[in-house]
Amino acid sequence: QVQLVQSGAEMKKPGASVKVSCKASGYTFTNYGISWVRQAPGQGLEWMGRVSAYNGNTNYAQRLQGRVTMTTDTSTSTAYMELRSLRSDDTAVYFCARNAAIIRWHPLYYMDVWGEGTTVTVSS
Amino acid sequence: DIQMTQSPSSLSASMGDRVTITCRATQNISAYLNWYQQKPGKAPKLLIYAASSLHSGVPSSFSGSGSGTDFTLTITSLQPEDFATYYCQQSYRTPFTFGPGTKVDIK
């Protein structure tokens, strides 16, 4: 079955970096992009950005620009999200999700399969 | 960025009730609107995409409508497993922003 399996929980100090992985199975990895979404404790969902597994193209949320990098490894069907210069307000659950699309002149994307989430705690 | 609002922010309902959640975008997003359901401690699940298309496996008690700036999610007969938080999300332009969520709990 189609699934995304994420790496385990991380605890980091302020200023450090974290790299979360998301391993895909059950579908052709390069046919879909991956979005990353985070959720701070008790808060709503925040879209962080997306990466194309076909060509590596990325779009990032402006507020994370410069601190986040999203990549893919097609040899292992794995997507990665690295966040640098961590702050306490980066404490959140980080989800990866597959980007399905209705292909037309202006594609419509939606996230149809989600990973289970990775808890990242930033604390001194 | 396109901002999304939802109303109400929370509601209490009984099993069997009809529930309607509204989502509004700050600019015209055509039908580039998706709905997700999230239960505590779990990943979100896709319910509706393209404003009104029901995702595979989602009960037909869920429906979506709207276009432009105003959208609704309707649950025709609330079941125990429907108590959750619901988010709308626009995918017209990046960043693909979410609404703040609507929590549906038991009256």
The pLDDT of residue A51 is above 90: yes
Q: Pick B43's closest partner by Cβ from A44, A62, A116.
A: A116
Taking a C-beta distance cutoff of 8 angstroms, is the pair B94, B1 a contact?
Answer: no
pLDDT score of A93: 98
Q: Which two tokens stand for residue A67?
A: 């601190």
Chain B residues with CB-CB distance to A115 below 8 A? 43
Cβ of B49 within 8 Å of Cβ of A117? The answer is: no
Split at pLDDT 50, 70, 90, the class of A103 is: confident
Split at pLDDT 50, 70, 90, the class of B63 is: very high
Give the mean pLDDT of chain A.
97
Distance separating alpha carbons of residues B81 and B95, to the nearest angstrom = 31
The pLDDT of residue A23 is above 90: yes
- When pLDDT is averaged across residues B26-33 and rounded to a whole number, the result is 97
pLDDT score of A104: 85
Distance from CA of A86 to the nearest CA of B (A): 21
Q: Is the peptide bond before B95 cis (omega within 30 degrees of 0)?
A: yes
The pLDDT of residue B106 is above 90: no
The chain B residue lying nearest A4, using CA atoms, is B43
pLDDT score of A102: 87
pLDDT tens digits for A66-82?
A: 999 999 999 999 999 99
pLDDT score of A48: 98
Amino acid type, A77: S
Sheet architecture: strand order including B4-7? B4-7, B19-25, B70-75, B62-67
Could you give the percent of chain A with pLDDT greater than 70?
100
A45 — contact with chain B (CB < 8 Å)? yes
Split at pLDDT 50, 70, 90, the class of B66 is: very high
- When pLDDT is averaged across residues A112-120 and rounded to a whole number, the result is 98
Distance separating alpha carbons of residues A55 and B59, to the nearest angstrom = 36
